[in-house]
Amino acid sequence: MDQLNAPLWEALQQHRSHSKGNFHVPGHKAGQVFDHAAYPCFSELLSLDLTEIGQLDDLHAPTGVIYEAQQLAAEVFAADQTRFLVGGTTSGILASILSTCQPGDKILVSRHCHQSVFHGCWLAGATVIPVAYGLDPQSGLELPTSPEVVKYLLELYSDAKAVVLTSPTYFGVVQYIEQLAEIAHCHGIPLIVDEAHGAHFGFHHELPSRALAQGADIAIQSTHKLLPAMTMSSMLHIKEGLVDVANVDRYLKAIQSSSPSYPLMASLDLARRYMATEGKAQLAKTLEQIAVFRQRLQSISALRELHVKAEMDPYKMTLVSEYYTGYELAERLEEAGIYIELADVEKLLFVFSLGTTQTELDYLWTTLYQCHKSGRAQNKPKLMRPPELRAGEPLPYAECRNDQRLLVPLSQAIGQRSADHLMAYPPGMPLILMGETIQQEIVDYLLLLAHSGGSVRGFVQQDDGSYHVYIFKS
């Protein structure tokens, strides 16, 4: 296929030059009416914000330019089939799980997974078999899911319909996909990989290879997170065999808007063309710049990068400072105009991409240096590591879907069944899953995060500042 083409983008441009009368939605009529003050900024994008007319095809029944754009993407991402997503990776995860599980079906889900995976299981009424992970004793980062644990759980729950995991994790840890795929396939079930943070994988020899290339059956990627596509633009890649592709499409139709955004879809078409043409060179350039930055960082002795003994994504960097909590250093960086992906009590997560510039890296290094030059080891609060999470009991979401919920003070919730996922956000990995017993140790950890400026989803703050949570009425 000719990867220099961008059929959807080209069709939008042709439409723009041909259109002389606009009698269709959206109401801004390609920008003919819009807020005056914001118009100069929005105008170019509004002219592309069209709908299923002329030669612009239809995402839900593609036969023209969207079909071609998805075919081109499948070739570049080495998939048998690719679907464009306009509801983020979330929509692809929901459709993958809904198409795999009937109510009551069991599904193995790594506890590394983002809330969207657990939401998918909840909507499907599936029974989640949570797969635990360990924490690295030095860094406190999550270790990859153990293939032995998955093997053991699949022997125990041999009627499970799929295995779902996240690779790479938010902090860049890559899972043992090849072994896990082999184990899932021995049981005749698909391995679904949330590859939200790994759309750049496989494009350069210094990067981990793609989940699909290692045997995964479905990989859902947030093209918008690491590649040059607009927010909410993702792709779902499929290896045929164990996946009911028609059923995935059926659920995508149900989940995604019937008015998918053309700017978002065109940005996917263009991100694919970029990766097929200039991507490798840009990866090589930025990988080199980031490697040099990492070396320079060693001259700031109060800063340490966290690693685990597993393959890691070089575009993620997790730092700990001897002088500041994660929140304090993030605040200092913000004062200097530097915004990062995540901070918690202990650490900071930086996300690089093909768009990272040398100027930004130099400025980051200088700012970090300034912050640490005159600093001194502070009385930092005693750091708490996230508690180790066990491989839990099966969670039958079909049974608790309609259970009544009660909002109670945290102190009354200990030992009760949580009616919500409780998690730090970001990263959005539930520490207590809906249906699990609320444990004091995990609540203490989440409270520490909340009190030191972090955002905790699932805690409902009252007017007096105290926190309540939803539990299931027993």
Q: How far is the CB of 370 from ligand PLP (least distance, A)?
A: 31
Question: Is residue 194 close enough to count as binding ligand PLP by CB under 6 A?
Answer: yes
Contact window for ligand PLP (CB under 6 A) among 75-83, 85-93, 145-153, 349-357: 85-93
Rounded (10°) angle between helices 326-335 and 358-373: 120
CA 131, 134, 460 angle in degrees (round to 5)? 70
Please identify, using beta-carbon distances, which residue of 116 and 325 lies nearer to ligand PLP: 116
Q: Which one among 81, 234, 261, 267 touches ligand PLP, defined by CB under 6 A?
A: 234
Please identify, using beta-carbon distances, which residue of 197 and 332 lies nearer to ligand PLP: 197
Please, are residues 198 and 235 in contact by the beta-carbon 8 Å criterion? Answer: no
CA distance 382 to 146: 30
Q: How far is the CB of 233 from ligand PLP (least distance, A)?
A: 8
Please identify, using beta-carbon distances, which residue of 196 and 469 lies nearer to ligand PLP: 196
Residue located via tokens 């210094």: 206
Question: Is residue 100 close enough to count as binding ligand PLP by CB under 6 A?
Answer: no
CA distance 180 to 457: 30
Question: Two tokens at 250?
Answer: 């059926």
> What is the per-residue DSSP string for 314-350?
TTEEEEEESSS-HHHHHHHHHHTT---SEE-SSEEEE
Question: Two tokens at 35?
Answer: 């807020």
Handedness of CA 415, 418, 424, 428 (dihedral sign): positive
Question: Two tokens at 248?
Answer: 């995935």
If you ran DSSP here, which 8-state letter would residue 279 be given?
I
Question: Is residue 161 close enough to count as binding ligand PLP by CB under 6 A?
Answer: no
Please identify, using beta-carbon distances, which residue of 354 and 410 lies nearer to ligand PLP: 354
Q: How far is the CB of 381 from ligand PLP (least distance, A)?
A: 27
Contact window for ligand PLP (CB under 6 A) among 18-26, 88-96, 173-181, 411-419: 88-96
Residues 332-361 that bind ligand PLP (CB under 6 A): none
Q: Which one among 196, 227, 255, 275 touches ligand PLP, defined by CB under 6 A?
A: 196
Question: Two tokens at 67?
Answer: 């079909």
According to DSSP, the β-strands at 106-110 and 81-85 are unpaired
Compute CA distances 179 → 78, 88, 400, 430, whole Å: 20, 28, 33, 25
Q: How far is the CB of 114 from ligand PLP (least distance, A)?
A: 3
Residue among 84, 16, 87 nearest 53 (CA): 16
- CB-nearest residue to ligand PLP: 88
Q: How far is the CB of 269 from ligand PLP (least distance, A)?
A: 17
Q: How far is the CB of 97 from ligand PLP (least distance, A)?
A: 12
Question: Is residue 428 close enough to count as binding ligand PLP by CB under 6 A?
Answer: yes
Within 6-83, residue ranges assigned H as helices are: 7-18, 39-46, 65-76
Q: Which one among 114, 239, 332, 347 touches ligand PLP, defined by CB under 6 A?
A: 114
| Binding mask of the shown chain, residues 39 to 78, with x at each position contacting ligand PLP by CB under 6 A | ----------------------------------------
Please identify, using beta-carbon distances, which residue of 190 and 427 lies nearer to ligand PLP: 427
For residue 409, give the H/E element and its range: strand 405-409
Question: Is residue 175 close enough to count as binding ligand PLP by CB under 6 A?
Answer: no
Question: Is residue 222 close enough to count as binding ligand PLP by CB under 6 A?
Answer: yes
Please identify, using beta-carbon distances, which residue of 197 and 372 lies nearer to ligand PLP: 197
Encode 438-458: b = buried (16+ Cβ within 10 Å), e = exposed.
Answer: bbeebbebbbbbeebebebeb
| Binding mask of the shown chain, residues 116 to 135, with x at each position contacting ligand PLP by CB under 6 A | x-------------------
Is cis: bond before 426, omega within 30 of 0?
Answer: yes
Sorted by sequence, the CB contacts under 8 Å of residue 245 that are 6+ apart come out as: 81, 238
CA distance 154 to 240: 22
Please identify, using beta-carbon distances, which residue of 99 and 321 lies nearer to ligand PLP: 99
Question: Is residue 221 close enough to count as binding ligand PLP by CB under 6 A?
Answer: no
Contact window for ligand PLP (CB under 6 A) among 84-92, 348-356, 359-367, 415-423: 84-92
Total residues at the site for ligand PLP (CB under 6 A)? 13
Q: How far is the CB of 93 from ligand PLP (least distance, A)?
A: 6
Amino acid identity at 314: P
Q: Which one among 139, 166, 267, 318 touches ligand PLP, defined by CB under 6 A?
A: 166
The binding site for ligand PLP (CB under 6 A) comprises: 88-90, 114, 116, 166, 170, 194, 196-197, 222, 234, 428
